[in-house]
Amino acid sequence: MDDPSWGNYRRRGGCVFGSRIFLWPVSVVVVALLLAVRPAVSAEAPAPLRVLTLYSLDPAFPWQAEVERGIVAGFARLDRPVERFVENLDTARFPGEAQAEVVEHFLAGRFVGGLPDVVIAEGGPATRFIKARPGLFPGARRVLINYTGEPGPDMVAIPLRSDFRTAIAEMLTVSGTRRVTVVADASDPSGKARLDDFKTQMAAFGSDIRVEYLVDRPMAELRERLAELPRDSAVFYLLVFHDGAGEAFTPYQAAQRLAAVSKAPIFSHWSSLMGSGIVGGYLLSGERVGTLAADAAGQLVAGRSGREVALPLKEAYGSSYDWRRVKDWGIPEARLPMGSVPLFREPSFWAAYRWPAIMVLSLTLVLATVVVVLARLNAARRQALAALDEERSLLERRVEERTADLSAATAALERSNQDLQQFAYAASHDLQEPLRSVTGYLQLLERRIGPTLDADAREFITFAVEGGRRMHTMIADLLEYSRVHLDGAAAGPVNAEKALGLALDNLRGLIDASGARIGNTPLPLVLASAPQVTRLFQNLVGNAIKYADPARPPEVTIGADCDGEFWQFSVKDNGIGIPKQFHQRIFWLFQRLHARSQYQGTGVGLALCQRIVERHGGHIWVESEPGKGATFRFTLPVARDSADLARAEV
């Protein structure tokens, strides 16, 4: 890949080659340095920064989820890839040192292949766990969130000191009240310390603020009391993990239950409670805390000691309000502090529907233009329609005339076809009598004067007799071919298996003489002419035996499969086969592929089969290769009447 800097030097060298030739050696040296440095830079690409984040509670809890989002956003700003691992002590379910030992063994085993570069611990149990085990991850930098002790040289502590005084002052200003009810949980040391800190900072407001403390009360009692509060009071929520009855909650769940019944607005000090029903207030943001932790980790990795890391902790606090609750409680917007962040604010009509409104106006203008254009085009359209009506009338007259001509031509063609079929039938029938006379007299002549004739004369008479016999056979086949469409037998349900049996009876002498083996699967009922189905099987099976391979006895298999409205029959043999180029030609009338000295026949049999199948609306074809036998397939209509079996012919 071309380096942009090298491109600049190259262009500059081209410009000054004639005027400032003394720059050329410098350019050569710079280019050589660039080419030497580039591989080294590529080879020193930084390895991913391995970061373990250990939470005291489940990372899916609202506060922990906010911190996690902040950590992700903070590391995204680093110019280095980051490989993150997230674990938690789950102290809500498994408090005590035994759980800590289990987690210690788990973490030691998980990172045996590569230690983390940075460990971020969130919450008291997690920070104490990491602080007490310096040998767990030797060399790793540590960031302790919500840790108030003295950190080590490779550690950064982010103390989350509650600024209740600012939060209380903002609550009093926004609510406009001097009556405050405080809901707190002092069932554990951290909750008791939080309550004591609040009372200490609350004392700065003097005795003119009436304060009621609801501490360690059952949830039912808390809800009942908040449902009785006067409208001109406010509630400060100091988190509830366990109520007075011992029931466990997440602070978010407890806030939801209290906000559902409270007759006074609820304020708090933690942003993770937003959306639970509280109004808001001066809040400690978990997301900002997470971002600070990621920034601290980046500074430690960059080489700073824990004491040199500078963090703007004030940025972790800010005023945020749920705009829906502000409107529900009728709090004037003017009371909110400057720079407050309104959450869940419904956009104004223009902000919400600006683009749809613009689109509607644009469409209105477009439609107005279209209406004007359509009005002008309407007159032209009417004129065009009148012209089209005239043309259509003319076209209809022409179509009627052409239809009448085609009907007459079709009728004439049908009459011609009928006449031609009648002629073929009559000619075939009438030619047989004089042909029999010629053949008979030749045979009589041979018997009477044959002994007196020489060998050539007797051979000539023999040829003439055989020719007469062949002619007789051809005329008989032609007569049968012409009778297919003249056959008056109506199509009806035919038992194909019985039709096959009759055909085999007719071929019994040929079958016995050839030693052929004939087999079939069960054959169905078809809608056809019974004599023609018998003739169809007789021709196909007879051909299979006639064109047998001399090296093996003939084997013929007949089967049938349903193909929608038709049955598809197959007649398969092991004979000599048919080249592919003759697969269509064999169905032409009087077509033969072999000399008469090899195989007898007139070339009418397969043409007759095709005529029978097509008369019934089906089609016939062959699948074959030389030396591999042949499979003739044809289709006949399905006989679907439920009484077909009882009425089947044959």
pLDDT of residue 642: 41
Helix (H) or strand (E) holding 212: strand 210-215
The torsion angles phi and psi of 181, rounded to 5 degrees, stand at -115, 125
DSSP state of 345: P
- 52 with 119: CB under 8 angstroms? yes
Position 336, amino acid: L
Enter the tokens of residue 581: 């180029």
Closest CA to 628 of 560, 552, 559, 568: 552
Closest CA to 284 of 200, 175, 160, 184: 160
Q: What is the mean pLDDT of each run of 10 residues along the chain (650 residues)?
A: 35 36 43 48 70 92 93 91 91 78 88 90 90 89 88 85 93 94 92 93 90 95 95 94 92 95 96 94 94 93 87 91 94 92 81 82 90 89 88 90 85 69 60 66 74 76 68 61 57 89 88 91 91 89 88 92 92 90 81 64 79 90 90 91 48
In words, the CATH class of domain 164-343 is: alpha beta
Helix (H) or strand (E) holding 51: strand 49-55
Looking at 333-348, list the stretches that DSSP marks H as alpha helix, in order from N- to C-terminal side.
none
Q: Which own/partner pairs from 127-135 qualify as long-range (CB within 8 Å, at least 24 positions apart)? A: 127/157, 129/54, 129/89, 129/100, 129/103, 129/104, 130/54, 131/155, 133/104
Distances (CA, A) of 139 to 109, 155, 294, 409: 17, 11, 18, 104
| Nearest-10 crossing angle of helices 455-483, 605-615 | 10
Architecture of domain 484-647: 2-Layer Sandwich (3.30)
pLDDT of residue 94: 79
pLDDT of residue 17: 33
- 123 with 241: CB under 8 angstroms? no
For residues 274 and 286, give the distance between their C-alpha atoms in angstroms, rounded to a whole number: 11
Closest CA to 563 of 524, 593, 606, 601: 524
For residues 490 and 480, give the distance between their C-alpha atoms in angstroms, rounded to a whole number: 17
pLDDT of residue 412: 76
For residues 599 and 580, give the distance between their C-alpha atoms in angstroms, rounded to a whole number: 20
> Domains of the chain: which residue ranges?
4-43, 164-343, 363-467, 484-647
**Strands across the sheet containing 179-184:** 210-215, 179-184, 234-237, 266-267, 280-284, 317-322, 341-343
Instruction: Please work out, in degrees rounded to the nearest 5, the angle formed at the alpha carbon of residue 480 by the alpha carbons of 477 and 482.
Output: 110
Helix (H, G, I), strand (E, B) or coil at 160: coil
| Burial class of residue 258 in the structure, from the number of CB atoms within 10 Å of its CB (0-12 exposed, 13-18 middle, 19+ buried) | buried
Closest CA to 284 of 109, 164, 113: 164
For residues 646 and 643, give the distance between their C-alpha atoms in angstroms, rounded to a whole number: 6
pLDDT of residue 436: 66
DSSP state of 93: T
Enter the tokens of residue 486: 């003249």
pLDDT of residue 410: 79
For residues 612 and 482, give the distance between their C-alpha atoms in angstroms, rounded to a whole number: 11
pLDDT of residue 150: 80
